[in-house]
Structure formats: C-alpha cells, structure tokens
Amino acid sequence: MQDITSKAINFLKKNSIFDIAHDIDHTIRVLNLSMYLLKKSKIKIKLKLIVLFALFHDYLDYKLVSSDNFTYKKRKLLLFFTKEIKLNKDETTLLIHLIINEWINNLWDIENEIIYKIVKDADIIDSLWSIWIARVFSYWWKINRNIFEEKKSKNKNSTIHYIKNNLTKKYQKLNFDISKKIAKPKLDYINKFVNDLEDEILFYDKLN
C-alpha cells in the first residue's frame, strides 16, 4: 500500500489545483484520520479503496476545477493512473463514483458504504479542528470577505457567520460514534472561540 500511496500523492501534486482550504496537507490529514477511524472501529474493509478515496476525495471538487473541459481532462488522467496501479474495472468505477458522491446500485454494498462514510467523517473532523479556523480565515481573506458583519446587516457573507452556520451542521453529518467523540470537544472549543471573537468585535464597535 505504501507504493500506491506514494504514487497517488505524487500524482496529486502534479495534476491537482489546490487552494488554502484544500491543499495536499489537508488531503494527507484526511487519509491519516481515515486510517485512525478504521483502526478504532475495528472494521475490516478494502484498504486500497479507502486509501485512494481519502487521497482523491477533493480531486474533482467543483471548487477546484475551472471548467467542464478541465474536469474531463482530470478524469482522463485519473483513469490512466488507475491503470498504472492496476485497479480493476469495478474498483475504478467505484472509486470515481465515490469521489463524485454518486452511488451505483450494482457495485454499492455495505463495505463500500462504510468506506464512503469513514472518509466523509475524516473530512468533516478535519474541518472541525482548530486548523480549520486558520484555513477558513485565510481562504476568506484571499477572496476579500469580511471577518464580521454587524448583526443588523443583511450581508450574511462574513467569515464568522459562515463558521457559526456550518459548525453544527458539519458535526450532525458524522456517521460514527468514534467520530463524534473526537469532534465534540473541538466543536465546543471553536464555537467558544468564534463567540468570543464576535463579542470582542461588537465591544470595540460600541466604543466608536
């Protein structure tokens, strides 16, 4: 598996568009978290597919592709890669559909559903850790979004509003008890941080 993992990471570095919130470090963290959840859950499943899905989970993300033509090229490159690492036809089809969040009835079974849920949980957990705050603030600063908007403002596109609206929603999407156990303390911490930040900004606004 180490050889396939190394080849996949090299492939992604050469053929992916990354942004502040979706970089190779995030990808590797999702892989490591997936392996941790798999170990803790004591479920025996296809290691190769969970590793590849974890590494490629953002590969065809609409936020990281510039056009339909570019998406087509990325899928074609992925198909070449699956041949290089000798995935069979069913494994390749399943991997692509896992990446694009599309279920296929004839290939979808309990084991493949577990693969999907473990990687999704790992992705969500990474977004609930403190590092996610840094990712969100960095990304939203890059696209010129304000950190904060007054509560009376109709503009709901501030960074704080986004974080507060998405944290609990993300947590509620977790599938496994072990995932919730890992994420809950972080969810509470980030909620407190964001509320404190909002209170501080409101306090200083009142001084003006």
The pLDDT of residue 97 is above 60: yes
Residue 102 CA to residue 72 CA, distance in Å, equals 17
Mean pLDDT to the nearest integer, 68-86: 83
- The model's pLDDT over 6-39, given as tens digits with 9 standing for 90+, comes to 999 999 888 876 666 678 888 999 999 999 999 9
Note whether 24 and 13 are within 8 A (CB): yes
Per-residue pLDDT, 198: 79
Report field, pTM of the whole predicted structure over 0.85: no
Calpha distance 183→188 (Å, rounded)? 9
pLDDT tens-digit series, residues 144-189 = 667 666 554 555 667 777 787 788 888 999 999 999 999 999 889 8
What is d(CA 77, CA 64) in angstroms, rounded to the nearest whole number?
15
* C-beta separation of 112 from 93 below 8 A: no
pLDDT of residue 179: 95
> Average model confidence (pLDDT) for the chain?
81
Q: Give the mean model confidence (pLDDT) for residues 62-73.
A: 65
- Please report the pLDDT score of residue 175 as a whole number: 93
Tell whether the model's pLDDT for residue 202 goes beyond 80.
Answer: no
Residue 15 has a pLDDT of 81
If pLDDT is split at 50, 70 and 90, which confidence band does 62 have? Answer: low
Q: Per-residue pLDDT averaged across 118-122, rounded?
A: 94
CA distance 72 to 25: 25
